[in-house]
Amino acid sequence: MQILIVEDSNTSRMYLEEILKVITQNLKTKTIDCAVCGEEALEKFEHKWLKGTPYDLIFMDIILPGMDGLQTLEKIRDIEQTRQIPEDKKVKAIMTTALDDNTKASRAFFQCEALSYITKPITADKIHDELNKFGMI
């Protein structure tokens, strides 16, 4: 499983990375990459496609410096559409945020095709439940 964490908070990024390492420890092939802003996430996303090892899952914070998480995910969806990526091959996205905002949640699901929306504080149980619910672990 190829995972990208997009989170500008160093503490949150490291915490999420540790949770994912534990949850995915039994997977034979896994990579967990990190980005601190939307622009860096787009670069990493494109690079992985060019290498032939695209991300399976992205954890994307909504509030990021520069391009926010929703804008970044919209651009990722545009890239997938341009490349005519089949629905089942599109990256799964889980949005993370400190905001409990219905407008942002609606946009995440309907406009950005997010798989899930998790409000902080993030726990290992929340992550495990979401990945399990969608058959990713």
Which tens digits make up the pLDDT trace of 63-118? 899 999 999 999 999 999 999 999 999 999 999 888 766 677 676 666 668 888 88
Residue 136 DSSP code: -
> How is the chain split into domains, by residue range?
2-126
Q: What is this structure's pTM? A: 0.91
- The tally of CA atoms less than 13 A away on the side-chain side of residue 52 is 0
Span 19-29, pLDDT tens digits? 999 998 888 77
For 4, how many CA atoms within 13 A lie in the half-sphere containing its CB? Answer: 30
Which of 6, 14, 8 has its CA nearest to residue 59?
6
Q: What is 2-126's CATH topology?
A: Rossmann fold (3.40.50)
Contact indicator for 93, 114 with CB cutoff of 8 Å: yes
| Degrees to nearest 5, angle at CA 85 with 59 and 43 | 50
Local confidence band at 33 (pLDDT 50, 70, 90 cut-offs): very high
Q: Please tell me the least confidently modeled range out of 7-16, 99-108, 120-129.
A: 99-108
